[in-house]
């Protein structure tokens, strides 16, 4: 029989979509929090999909995970205690535990099924979750940050889009608790969507973070399977300036992140800068 021509489509908004030809759907379920599918694709390999949105794929996951983790981890002079909110696939944790300075990394993921399914289908992404320094908690990250004060060097928000279970992770009150949970030279980074598709969100987050943190910095990376391919990250830092850091690589085997990329990522196209400098 001829190969079937099956396609996955993510409807990114009412006017925009991305499609990949499918080899096979490996898993589908509805968890307590969201729809979850694992799909094998011809172009990007296996792909984790939550509520119809591409979370990560075998082929391009390294860009997002390295850039969310290593930019703040190389900005802080000695990050020992790190929190990841969301990120149940484990990709951010895998990058965090590459840093020898790390003594403890906590993962607060609200949906335990994401962790289980990632261990099963994406063992190369979830690998860091079994590091002895890692404490995996199936817990609401919002409650976790509220309950911790002056404790973390770095906090990373690896959320889904600002709809559904992740709405609270884009709220100003949440950033205020993140600020309290950080030590006095702490750094936080949140994934903040696409400058082409979500400029209003980026502007609002930038404003909220600027009202709380001494420094706010936006940086970019290129992620082919996310809406528009151009992706933003917003950093709030109490003391350390990312542009004065990262002169050498502290970890081995990165495929996107380098000291030159660290600096270059903060160089913004004018239309991106204009999103928040008005
Ligand atoms: N975090 C989700 C990024 C948002 C992608 N959005 C979309 N496809 N509409 C990724 C989790 C990876 N650890």
CA of 1 to the centre of ligand 1 (A): 35
For Cα atoms 206, 209, 211, give the angle at the middle one, nearest 5 degrees: 110
Q: What is the pLDDT of residue 165?
A: 82
Q: What is the pLDDT of residue 98?
A: 98
Per-residue model confidence as pLDDT tens digits over 188-232: 999 999 999 999 999 999 999 999 999 999 999 999 999 999 999
Average pLDDT of the chain to the nearest whole number: 96
Counting ligand 1 atoms within 8 A of each CB, the residue from 197, 226, 230 with the most, and so the one to mutate, is 226
Residue 278 pLDDT > 80, yes or no?
no
Per-residue model confidence as pLDDT tens digits over 43-54: 999 999 999 999
**Ligand 1 atom showing the smallest separation from residue 193 Cα:** 4
Read off the pLDDT of each residue in 270-278 and give the average, rounded to a whole number.
Answer: 92
Strand order in the sheet with 16-30: 7-13, 16-30, 35-41, 45-50, 53-57
Q: What is the pLDDT of residue 51?
A: 96
What is the rounded CA–CA span in Å between residue 135 and residue 137? 6
Q: What is the pLDDT of residue 1?
A: 53
Structural fold of domain 61-276:
Rossmann fold (3.40.50)
Give ranges for CATH 2.30.140.10 in the chain.
7-57
Confirm if 193 and 13 have CB atoms less than 8 A apart: no
Q: Residue 165 is encoded by which pair of tokens?
A: 């279970």
Ligand 1 pocket member 254 (CB < 6 A): no
Classify burial at 183, counting beta carbons within 10 Å of its beta carbon; exposed 0-12, middle 13-18, buried 19 or more. Answer: middle
Q: What is the pLDDT of residue 196?
A: 96
Q: How far lies 107's CA from each of 149, 160, 165, in Å?
A: 16, 15, 16
Which superfamily is assigned to 7-57 in CATH? Spermidine synthase, tetramerisation domain (2.30.140.10)
With H, G, I as helix, E, B as strand and everything else as coil, classify residue 211.
helix
Counting ligand 1 atoms within 8 A of each CB, the residue from 15, 54, 110 with the most, and so the one to mutate, is 54
Ligand 1 pocket member 225 (CB < 6 A): no
Per-residue model confidence as pLDDT tens digits over 58-85: 999 999 999 999 999 999 999 999 999 9
Confirm if 62 and 85 have CB atoms less than 8 A apart: no
Q: Give the sign of the dihedral formed by CA 152, CA 111, CA 159, CA 124.
A: positive
Ligand 1 pocket member 208 (CB < 6 A): no
Q: What is the pLDDT of residue 192?
A: 98
With H, G, I as helix, E, B as strand and everything else as coil, classify residue 247.
coil
Q: How confident is the model at residue 4 (pLDDT cuts 50, 70, 90)?
A: confident
Active-site residues: which are they?
A: 158
Ligand 1 pocket member 55 (CB < 6 A): yes
Read off the pLDDT of each residue in 248-258 and give the average, rounded to a whole number.
Answer: 94
CA of 66 to the centre of ligand 1 (A): 14
Ligand 1 pocket member 109 (CB < 6 A): no
Per-residue model confidence as pLDDT tens digits over 140-178: 999 999 999 999 999 999 999 999 889 999 999 999 999
Short-list 212, 200, 222, 193, CA closest to 64: 222
Q: What is the pLDDT of residue 94?
A: 98
Q: How confident is the model at residue 246 (pLDDT cuts 50, 70, 90)?
A: confident
Burial 229-238 (b: 16+ CB within 10 A, else e): ebbbbbbbbb
Q: Show the 3-state SS of 137-190.
A: EECCHHHHHHCCCCCEEEEEEECCCCCHHHHHHHCHHHHHHHHHHEEEEEEEEE
Q: What is the pLDDT of residue 277?
A: 86
């Amino acid at each position: 029989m001829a190969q079937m021509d099956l396609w996955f489509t993510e409807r990114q908004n009412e006017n925009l979509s991305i499609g990949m030809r499918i080899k096979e759907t490996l898993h589908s379920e509805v968890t307590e929090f969201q729809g979850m599918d694992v799909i094998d694709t011809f172009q990007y390999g296996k792909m984790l999909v939550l509520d119809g949105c591409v979370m990560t794929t075998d082929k391009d996951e390294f860009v997002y995970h390295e850039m969310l983790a290593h930019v703040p981890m190389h900005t802080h002079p000695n990050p020992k205690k790190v929190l990841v909110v969301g990120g149940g696939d484990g990709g951010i944790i895998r990058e965090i535990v590459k840093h020898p300075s790390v003594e403890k990394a906590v993962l607060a993921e609200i949906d335990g099924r994401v962790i289980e399914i990632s261990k099963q289908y994406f063992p190369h992404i979830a690998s860091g979750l079994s590091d002895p320094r890692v404490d995996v908690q199936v817990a609401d990250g919002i409650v976790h940050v509220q309950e911790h004060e002056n404790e973390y060097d770095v906090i990373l928000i690896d959320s889904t889009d600002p709809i559904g279970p992740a709405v609270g992770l884009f709220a100003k009150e949440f950033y205020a608790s993140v600020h309290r949970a950080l030590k006095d030279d702490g750094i936080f980074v949140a994934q903040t969507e696409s400058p082409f598709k979500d400029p209003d969100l980026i502007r609002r987050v930038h404003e909220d973070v600027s009202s709380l943190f001494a420094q706010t910095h936006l940086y970019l990376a290129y992620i082919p399977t996310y809406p528009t391919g151009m992706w933003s990250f917003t950093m709030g830092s109490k003391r350390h300036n990312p542009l004065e850091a990262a002169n050498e690589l502290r970890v081995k085997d990165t495929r996107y992140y380098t000291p030159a990329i660290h600096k270059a990522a903060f160089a913004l196209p004018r239309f991106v800068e204009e999103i928040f400098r008005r």
